[in-house]
């Protein structure tokens, strides 16, 4: 099983990060009382697994309307992996209260190049995202 990541994967993750920022921006209202927070993911990871996640470098910064309730967020990151297959990571954040989300991560195989088959295994996981 190959563990090295190809350049197209990093481009896909970068695009996913941009879409993540736009998604968070879409839940912000025009109220001028906004505060910036760090979203921190608390979950386990399998050794050697590849996760198509916005949290690949740690916490994520987001701006929310002050005092507003958290809204659900769904993030989708697509990548062409070295196994010749196109994968999509799906991260779902469901509000638990005003400071925490329930986090779930799943993957879909969107398709493979002719003659290729998935060389990786799916790595679903769940956890908590705190708003700090």
Rg (the chain; Cα; Å):
16
Q: How does pLDDT run across 77-113, given as a tens digit for each residue?
A: 999 999 999 999 999 999 999 899 999 999 999 999 9
On the question of pLDDT at 20 being above 50, the answer is yes
Beta strands in the chain (DSSP E): 34-43, 60-65, 73-80, 85-95, 100-112, 125-131
3-state helix, strand, coil in the chain (%, to 5): 15, 40, 45
| Count of residues making up the chain | 132
**pLDDT for res 64:** 83
Q: What count of other Cβ atoms lies within 10 Å of the Cβ of residue 107?
A: 21
Contact 116, 82 (CB under 8 A): no
């Amino acid at each position: 099983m190959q563990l090295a990541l190809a350049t197209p994967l990093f481009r896909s993750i970068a695009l996913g990060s941009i879409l993540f920022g736009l998604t968070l921006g879409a839940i912000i209202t025009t109220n001028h009382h906004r505060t910036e927070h760090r979203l921190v993911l608390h979950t386990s990871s399998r050794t050697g697994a590849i996760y198509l996640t916005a949290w690949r470098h740690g916490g994520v910064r987001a701006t929310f309307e002050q005092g507003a309730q958290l809204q659900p967020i769904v993030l989708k990151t697509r990548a062409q992996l070295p196994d010749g297959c196109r994968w999509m990571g799906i991260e779902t954040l469901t509000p638990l209260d005003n400071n925490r989300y329930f986090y779930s991560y799943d993957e879909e195989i969107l398709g493979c190049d002719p003659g290729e088959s998935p060389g990786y295994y799916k790595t679903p996981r769940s956890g908590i995202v705190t708003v700090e």
